[in-house]
Structure 1
Amino acid sequence: MQQLLDTAEKIRSMEIRGAGRIATAAAKALRDYVEMLETSSFEEFVAKVEKAKSILIETRPTAVSLPNAVMLAGSYDAETVEEARSQILDNATEFIRNADNALDNIGEIGAKRLRDGDTVMTHCNSHAALAIIKTAHKQGKRIKVYATESRPRRQGFITIKELSDAGIDTTLIVDSAVRYTMKNVDTVIVGADSITVNGALVNKIGTSQLALAAHEARVNFISAAETYKFSPSTLFGDLVEIEERDPDEVIPSDKLGDMPDVKISNPAFDVTPSEYIDLIVTEAGAFPPEMAYVIIKEHLGWELKKMG
């Protein structure tokens, strides 16, 4: 259990960050826990596995990839401990393998949307979005990238390092320079933490700013998202909870000094309406946001419908 608790804390503290990386880390933690779990009865096994699932799921409330990964990896239909253990190990391993393959497929599909000489803007640090950019670069297309700083955690610094290591011409901009820079951009590509049944995108705070600026400037806006980032619970009316993180990420409380009436708001995500999204690129293909329902139904399965 300690290893699983360590992973949960790393997810909660954002030592492990990014929806895809969170999902695979949770699946691996659950797989390893179940593999080593010793119980005296099937009932005890079920209770301990369900508790482990809850611990992982509760770490980050917004990224639907986390509960989807835990539920898909941890699913079983068995009557004995060994049958259930075997099914979970197989399901978790399959999820991890599919997640890895998904990035390759997203890269190949999304790269078709980029032309030689294109300039791309990206936000935060998304493996799926970067897969498209890197694949286009490997194909010999001359791609230039503007990457946002992505405050307050500055995930953009990770992005520019990855792009630099790949040999891609990259410029870091402050978040407030998005509209100023948009006139030089051909396509915006971002990741996703959750996609709702109506095709709305829940992603790193500031994403809606990029989408609005792109819409006004008539620049294509693409979200790159594995199918497990779609939210089945929104099909049944549930709202995606927007995580409010520690104000100290913005400014340490001791720096506020003699300003007792000042409060800090630090939402980690925002919502981009579907009408500002031109395309969602998944490992199963590229779809308009209006087809989110089809992805939820056909690629996630109804066994997730009770998740909330």
Structure 2
Amino acid sequence: MSLYETADKIKSMEIRGAGRIARYAAQALKEHGNGLKPSDLNTFQREMEKASEVLLKTRPTAVSLPNAVNIVMREVRAAGTIEDAKEKLTKTADSFIEDSINSVSKIAEFGSRHIKDGDTILTHCNSEAALACIIKAHEDGKEIEVFATEVRPRNQGLITIKTLNDAGIKTSFIVDSAARYYMKRVNLAITGADAITVNGAVVNKIGTSQIALCAKESRTPLIVAAETYKFAPKTVSGDLIDIEERPSSEVLDDSILKDLKNVRVRNPAFDVTPAAYIDLIITEKGAIPPEMAYTIIKEYLGWKIEEFS
């Protein structure tokens, strides 16, 4: 699959999920770079920067994407020869993909420890990391039950309930607006994240902040499961994460909308949950309170202060 095909599939959400987007981006950069036959290093680096921009424009909210691109491209930018650049590109991309896959299993180990035998869990959207925690708890012999939301308008909840069903976990499928109604029966809420800011706020699928508010009101703990490359370095300098707004056709068919001249469909794909509503963030490095988000950016993502400027 070419870099441009990958970009199109990320943009159309055929490739979805922050972790998968990051892995596909790293793979696309590697294959694109190895297919180039430039005359000199500067030309190769320029072509790789152009390829990076193509990927970066696809999904503005998924911070895993620029983090993956930055991790892979840092080595390309520092290379001394074309051969060195291609070798480092391949090695770094492969290492990132492997680490990304291994991160989920590590998160599952840590996350399972925070799930008790007999717990009823609510989850929202289709988070690979959040589901891994739930499935690992089930595999550890804990009797658990899950409430999974439908996740309008793209209905990612259908993927979630299939995954839980195949794992043999008792699951109730509910409409998004029923989260408050069932929260009194829930012991723990677990979501994923598309981005985590320096102050510990979490950007995730639209509806997450409402669930977090319900959980806070009900004194139900909320855990966020996320790989370290979902933390947003540029929020250190005050940058706000761009919230993607999807096409209106995802909500209403264009044939219906054309007769509603005074109606505009708004379709934000994500919302922001304040750190105050989050009890714990589970990463592959361990569990941290939201206020420690900066340590992940500084110590594990390797961003230097001048890169925030």
Normalised by the length of structure 1, the TM-score is 0.98
Q: CA deviation at 1:141?
A: 0.5
Identify if the C-alpha distance between structure 1 residues 6 and 79 changes in structure 2 by more than 3 Å, giving closer, same or farther. same
Q: CA deviation at 1:91?
A: 0.7
Counterpart of 1:202 in 2: which secondary structure?
Answer: strand
Partner amino acid, structure 2, of 1:18: G
The Cα offsets for residues 223-261 of structure 1, whole Å up to 9 and x where unpaired, read as 000000000000011100000110110002211243200
Q: Which runs of 5+ in 2 are unaligned?
A: none
The Cα offsets for residues 119-169 of structure 1, whole Å up to 9 and x where unpaired, read as 100001000000100000000111110000000000000000001011110
Identify if the C-alpha distance between structure 1 residues 305 and 58 changes in structure 2 by more than 3 Å, giving closer, same or farther. farther
Name whichever of 30-39 and 202-211 sits farther off: 30-39
Q: How many residues align?
A: 307
Aligned to 1:228: 229
User: Aligned runs of 1:70-149 on 2, under 5 Å?
Assistant: 70-76=69-75, 77-149=78-150
Aligned to 1:57: 56
Aligned to 1:43: 42
After TM superposition, what 4+ stretches of structure 1 lie above 4 angstroms from structure 2?
Answer: none
Counterpart of 1:263 in 2: which secondary structure?
Answer: coil
Normalised by the length of structure 2, the TM-score is 0.97
Aligned to 1:10: 9
Q: Quick one: percent identity of the two aligned structures?
A: 56
Query: Could you tell me how far apart the structure 1 residues matched to 2:306 and 2:291 are?
Result: 19
Q: CA deviation at 1:307?
A: 6.4
CA RMSD, aligned part only? 1.2
Counterpart of 2:173 in 1: which secondary structure?
Answer: strand
Q: Which runs of 5+ in 1 are unaligned?
A: none
Q: CA deviation at 1:75?
A: 2.0
Aligned to 1:199: 200
Counterpart of 1:75 in 2: which secondary structure?
Answer: helix
Partner amino acid, structure 2, of 1:93: D
Query: Could you tell me how far apart the structure 2 residues matched to 1:179 and 1:89 are?
Result: 47
Query: Could you tell me how far apart the structure 2 residues matched to 1:12 and 1:40 are?
Result: 32
Identify if the C-alpha distance between structure 1 residues 307 and 14 changes in structure 2 by more than 3 Å, giving closer, same or farther. farther
Partner amino acid, structure 2, of 1:56: L
Partner amino acid, structure 1, of 2:38: T
Q: CA deviation at 1:186?
A: 0.5
Counterpart of 2:164 in 1: which secondary structure?
Answer: helix
Aligned to 2:261: 260
Q: Is the 8 A contact 2:60 2:243 kept in 1?
A: yes
Identify if the C-alpha distance between structure 1 residues 148 and 224 changes in structure 2 by more than 3 Å, giving closer, same or farther. same
Q: Is the 8 A contact 1:178 1:210 kept in 2?
A: yes
Q: CA deviation at 1:306?
A: 2.8
Q: CA deviation at 1:57?
A: 1.0
Identify if the C-alpha distance between structure 1 residues 48 and 60 changes in structure 2 by more than 3 Å, giving closer, same or farther. same
Counterpart of 2:199 in 1: which secondary structure?
Answer: coil
Aligned to 1:33: 32
Query: Could you tell me how far apart the structure 1 residues matched to 2:83 and 2:192 are?
Result: 38
